Amino acid sequence: MTKLLIYVSLILCFGAVFAQAQATPDYKISKIKIVPFEQSSGSFEDEIAVNDDRAFFNDLSKALFVTVEISGKAESYEARRELQITVTEGAKVKAKKIFMSGILNEKGKFYFPFWLDAPMCSEVKITARITGQKNASTTTRKVSFQCGE
């Protein structure tokens, strides 16, 4: 009888852990923050908002500091989930990086910093994608750069 009670208790514990793991909702990309950095002055500029149509022309010392914010269940961690960031400049891949997800904070957020070096002379497209979950989450932002006379 004691062994049966132990087995039932173990099954219930493992079942609860399994159910909790299954109940963790998908993570979402909640924001891609883009902040220009002027290398000639060493200063950050105002953030480029989502609907900002700001363009850069012959700004050869303009780098970009990018932060991707993900959201999910507070204080959760899913080891199989990863964030992939792909940056294209025109038709060319400028950068590609894969991050492993960390433990989301008490507000259900985690942040991934990413640096894009100058110079940039064509439209820059930043695509962030969370994989390793039932539904992938993808967000894209664009910044216009041009060079010439």
pTM for the full model? 0.81
Around Cβ 133, how many Cβ atoms within 10 Å? 18
Residues 6 or more apart in contact with residue 97 via CB below 8 angstroms? 84, 85, 114
| 25-146: in CATH 2.60.40.10 | yes
- The whole-angstrom separation of Cα 127 and Cα 5 is 52
List the domain boundaries for the chain: 25-146
Q: What is the enclosing helix (H) or strand (E) of 145?
A: strand 137-146
User: What's the confidence (pLDDT) of residue 6?
Assistant: 56
User: What's the confidence (pLDDT) of residue 7?
Assistant: 55
- The whole-angstrom separation of Cα 87 and Cα 96 is 6
User: What's the confidence (pLDDT) of residue 19?
Assistant: 47
Residues 6 or more apart in contact with residue 27 via CB below 8 angstroms? 70, 71, 72, 78, 81, 101, 104, 130, 133, 137
Digitized pLDDT (tens) for each residue of the chain, 149 residues in all: 665 555 545 555 555 445 445 557 899 999 999 999 999 999 999 999 999 989 999 999 999 999 999 999 999 998 889 999 999 999 999 999 999 989 999 999 999 999 999 999 999 999 999 999 999 999 999 999 999 86
